[in-house]
Amino acid sequence: MKSFFHHFPHILYKSDLMKAVVLTKHFQSIEDLDLQVTERPTPMPKSGECLIKVASSGVNPSDVLGALGYFSHAVVPRIPGRDFAGTIVEGRHELIGKKVWGTGGAIGLDADGCHAEYLIVPEESVGEVPENLPLEVAGAQTLPYTTAYYSLVTRAHIQPNEEVLVIGGLGQVGQAALAICLWKGAIPTALVRQDEDVAKAKALGWNATTLFEGKYDVILNTIGNVHWENQIQCLKKFGRIAVIAAPEGKREAKLNLFHFYRANQEVCGINTVDFGFQENKAFLDDLKDGFESKALSSLPISQETTFSLNEATQAYQKVFKGSRGMRVIILCK
The Cα–Cα gap between 242 and 295 comes to 23
Residue 105's pLDDT is 87
> 272 with 251: CB under 8 angstroms?
no
> 92 with 125: CB under 8 angstroms?
no
The Cα–Cα gap between 285 and 295 comes to 14
Residue 333's pLDDT is 80
The Cα–Cα gap between 188 and 208 comes to 9
Residue 13's pLDDT is 57
The predicted-structure confidence for 33-49, as pLDDT tens digits, reads as follows: 999 999 999 999 999 99
The Cα–Cα gap between 300 and 266 comes to 32
The conformation of residue 92, written as its DSSP 8-state character, comes to: S
| In the chain, domain spans | 1-26+35-118+301-314+325-332, 144-269
* DSSP characters over 143-208: HHHHHHHIIIIIIS---TT-EEEEETTTSHHHHHHHHHHHHTT-EEEEE-SSHHHHHHHHHTT-EE
Query: Computed from CA positions of residues 273, 275, 281, 284, in that sequence, does the dihedral angle turn out positive or negative?
Result: negative
Assigned CATH topology for domain 1-26+35-118+301-314+325-332: Quinone Oxidoreductase; Chain A, domain 1 (3.90.180)
Q: Is 165 exposed, middle or buried (0-12, 13-18, 19+ CB in 10 A)?
A: buried
Task: Output phi, psi for 248, to 5 deg.
Answer: -55, 135
> 242 with 270: CB under 8 angstroms?
yes
> Which of 95, 58, 75 is closest to 329 using CA atoms?
58
Residue 15's pLDDT is 74
Low-confidence ranges of the chain (pLDDT < 50): 1-11
The predicted-structure confidence for 222-277, as pLDDT tens digits, reads as follows: 999 999 999 999 999 999 999 999 988 999 999 999 999 999 999 999 999 999 99
Radius of gyration of the CA atoms of the chain, in A: 21
The Cα–Cα gap between 154 and 240 comes to 12
> Which of 32, 103, 20 is closest to 317 using CA atoms?
32
Collapsing DSSP to helix, strand or coil, 3 comes out as coil
Residue 14's pLDDT is 67
Residue 12's pLDDT is 54
| 316: number of Cβ within 10 Å | 29
Give me the helix-helix angle, 142-149 and 277-292, nearest 10°: 90
Residue 274's pLDDT is 93
CATH class of the domain at 144-269: alpha beta
Task: Output phi, psi for 30, to 5 deg.
Answer: -70, -30
**274 half-sphere exposure, CB direction, 13 A CA radius:** 5
Alpha helices, DSSP H only, in 45-171? 61-67, 135-138, 142-149
**250 half-sphere exposure, CB direction, 13 A CA radius:** 13
